[in-house]
Amino acid sequence: MPRQAQSRCKMVSERLICMTAPAPTLPKKPVVTRFAPSPTGYLHIGGGRTALFNWLYARGHGGTFLLRIEDTDRARSTPDATAAILRGLTWLGLDWDGDVVSQFQQKDRHADVARDMLARGSAYKCFCTQEEIESFRAAAEAEKRSTLFISPWRDADPATHPDTPFVIRMKAPRTGQTVIADAVQGTVTFQNDLLDDMVCLRSDGTPTYMLAVVVDDHDMGVTHVIRGDDHLNNAARQTMVYNAMGWDVPVWAHIPLIHGPDGKKLSKRHGALGVEDYQSMGYPAAGMRNYLSRLGWSHGDDEFFTSAQAMGWFELEDIGRAPARLDFKKLEHICGLHIAAGENAALLHEVQAYLVVSGQTALTDAQSDGLLRAMYCLKDRAKTFPELIDKAHFVLTSRPVQLDEAATKSLDMVSRSMLRELTPHLQTALWTREALEAIFTAFAAAHGVGFGILAAPLRAALAGRIVTPSVYDMMLVIGQTETISRIEDAAA
RNA sequence: GGUCCGUUCGUCUAUCGGUUAGGACACCAGGUUUUCAACCUGGGAAGAGGGGUUCAACUCCCCUACGGACUGCCA
């Protein structure tokens, strides 16, 4: 994928760097990004966007997009949740490279690194019990002191170590500051004396997230960590692990979270949270990708685009710093454009998948065939798949066509007799739009009525409803025989 | 409480010191029409507040307010 657009600013600054320091023109490391959800439920819509950004960036830069499941918390991780996440990503069309990595399976490696840090003197054994720490924190809070816990074992003589369970804590620097050069947030500075010695290895020998992410990201060769800005504070402590091990720190990009329509953090009461919920609501995946990518990222005034275009445009510096709200109206609008632009067979395929996941009965072969033939007059008007199916009712249904209340009402004595007079004209008609238009125009004129008067009972007869696509489109799609039969049914 | 991040129309956003602050969704009005949509035209609608810096600030700096994240042997 050629780089179509690049921040002008960045190009200028790179040029400047080259002029002042010609040396660092080392070959750029290929981009490696990853999405690392924890398997505690479904794929959250915010997680879906994080995955999307990682995917766009990797794919747009000829890089690699990896997937890792952060399942070190055994109590909260379930195989079902992992499966749900994979399903969500697959539906969104975000394909990852290589095998899915299980963080838990790397636990021995994590423990090795923890011991390595111990040997290097950048970590130490802490024998404090959780109860001790909890009571310390409770007391500190009550007295309004800092709850920052400094282990008494930090500089203890190993000879004094008791024979009790211990955790391995990072021996974090107590002075100076840690600077995060974030591609989205800019330069963020943390005072080291405000950061505690995080636990790297639990007393049961399992690694904590803080250690595991760093080790895995390093081992997997991740060059760009694009994740929610709820991790921004963590980045400082994680940097210390990189430094302790002498590893290259990745490029950080902490993106703002997505909020609900009311501006509050997205939660259950907002309804649809999982990516799969959006699939069951019948939004096309291409539209979801388009809409989600515009939440917090922009490329000038471009609103409607394909993922291929987004890949060519996507740069970290174009990501905003403020949280964005979910707007279903705009989502629908974008999705409508994607349905309209969709290829008929692909749309049919997606509609079928939608019916299955939303627990509805799939279309029969005959219905699929009908939908395919009707697609041309349907797809411009539907924003979602349920809407598309609703508008396709005339071709999905079969005789005898069920009439709804309004349709029954419009088929009164007068209009039924009009329909009876109409059928002979249709029997001999050439079945083209032009010929049909000529017939109906003449027929309406002969009866001294406008075409609208004629169209209403026709909609009722053909679709059983009075809100339908164009009557000409319906007749052309269902064909001459079926049209005449339906009109005769209604006129009887 | 502490640390960190954020704040342009109702919403998503453009703007990288000089613009009548632009676009899109939504909304309102009109047009088109074969119902509903779609479509076309037009309209209202924004720099949180206060201080600086500057010839000039939405843009840079500080303070306040509001919102958020983190502050775990969760991830």
Predicted confidence band at A27 (pLDDT cuts at 50, 70, 90)? low
| Whole-number pLDDT of residue A40 | 85
Farthest CA pair distance, chain A: 110
Q: At A324, is the secondary structure helix, strand, or coil?
A: strand
| Whole-number pLDDT of residue A19 | 27
| Whole-number pLDDT of residue A170 | 95
Chain A 86..125 CB hits on strand B (< 7 A): 103
Distance CA A232, CA A225 (A): 11
Q: Return phi, psi of residue A473, to 5°.
A: -60, -45
What residues of A are labeled active site? Answer: 268
Give first-to-last CA distance, chain A, whole Å. Answer: 62
Among A105-119, A198-212, A264-278, A422-436, name the one with the lowest average pLDDT: A264-278
Predicted confidence band at A448 (pLDDT cuts at 50, 70, 90)? confident
A249 Cβ nearer than 7 Å to chain B strand? no
| Whole-number pLDDT of residue A280 | 95
| Whole-number pLDDT of residue A64 | 97
Distance A294 CA to B10 C1' (A): 18
Burial A421-431 (b: 16+ CB within 10 A, else e): ebeeebeebee
Give the pairing type, strands A199-201 and A167-170.
antiparallel
Task: Report whether pLDDT(A15) > 60.
Answer: no
Chain A 168..207 CB hits on strand B (< 7 A): 185-186, 188-191, 194, 196, 198-199, 202-204
Distance CA A492, CA A490 (A): 6
Work out the angle at residue A107's Cα, subtended by the Cα atoms of residues A101 and A109, and round it to the nearest 5 degrees: 95
Judged by C1' against the alpha carbon of A70, the nearest nucleotide is B75
Among A259-273, A288-302, A376-390, A454-468, name the one with the lowest average pLDDT: A259-273
Which residues neighbour A47 within 8 Å (Cβ) at sequence distance 6 or greater?
A: A35, A37, A85, A275
Q: What is the mean pLDDT of residues A220-224?
A: 97
Task: Report whether pLDDT(A54) > 50.
Answer: yes
pLDDT digits (tens, 9 = 90+) for A396-421: 999 898 988 888 888 888 888 888 99
Tokens describing residue A381: 């008007």
pLDDT digits (tens, 9 = 90+) for A450-459: 888 889 999 9
Task: Report whether pLDDT(A72) > 70.
Answer: yes
Task: Report whether pLDDT(A4) > 60.
Answer: no
Task: Report whether pLDDT(A6) > 60.
Answer: no
Q: What is the mean pLDDT of residues A181-202?
A: 93
Extract the runs of DSSP E, i.e. beta strands, from A53-141. Answer: 64-69, 101-102, 123-126
Burial A316-326 (b: 16+ CB within 10 A, else e): bebbeeebbeb
Residue A24: asked if its preceding bond is cis (omega within 30°), the reply is no
Average pLDDT, chain A: 89
C-beta of residue A215 within 8 angstroms of C-beta of residue A110: yes
| Whole-number pLDDT of residue A142 | 85
Chain A 429..488 CB hits on strand B (< 7 A): 437, 450-452, 455-456, 459, 466-472
| Whole-number pLDDT of residue A216 | 97
Among A264-278, A365-379, A436-450, name the one with the lowest average pLDDT: A264-278
A328 Cβ nearer than 7 Å to chain B strand? no
Amino acid making up residue A472 = Y
Q: What is the mean pLDDT of residues A296-310?
A: 95
Distance CA A244, CA A238 (A): 10
| Whole-number pLDDT of residue A10 | 30
Instruction: List chain B nucleotides near protein: any atom < 7 Å from a Cβ.
Output: 1-8, 10-16, 22-26, 34-38, 67-75
Predicted confidence band at A5 (pLDDT cuts at 50, 70, 90)? very low
> Which strand (E) or helix (H) includes residue A391?
helix A385-391
What is the DSSP-derived secondary structure letter of residue A360? P
Task: Report whether pLDDT(A90) > 90.
Answer: yes
Q: At A206, is the secondary structure helix, strand, or coil?
A: coil
| Whole-number pLDDT of residue A22 | 31
The ipTM is: 0.94
Task: Report whether pLDDT(A9) > 70.
Answer: no
Q: What is the mean pLDDT of residues A432-460?
A: 89
Could you identify the residue written with the tokens 């055994």? A74
pLDDT digits (tens, 9 = 90+) for A95-147: 999 999 999 999 999 999 999 999 999 999 999 999 999 999 988 888 888 88
What is the DSSP-derived secondary structure letter of residue A6? -
| Whole-number pLDDT of residue A141 | 85
Distance CA A373, CA A347 (A): 12
Among A5-19, A48-62, A163-177, name the one with the lowest average pLDDT: A5-19
Give the total residue count for chain A: 492
| Whole-number pLDDT of residue A11 | 29
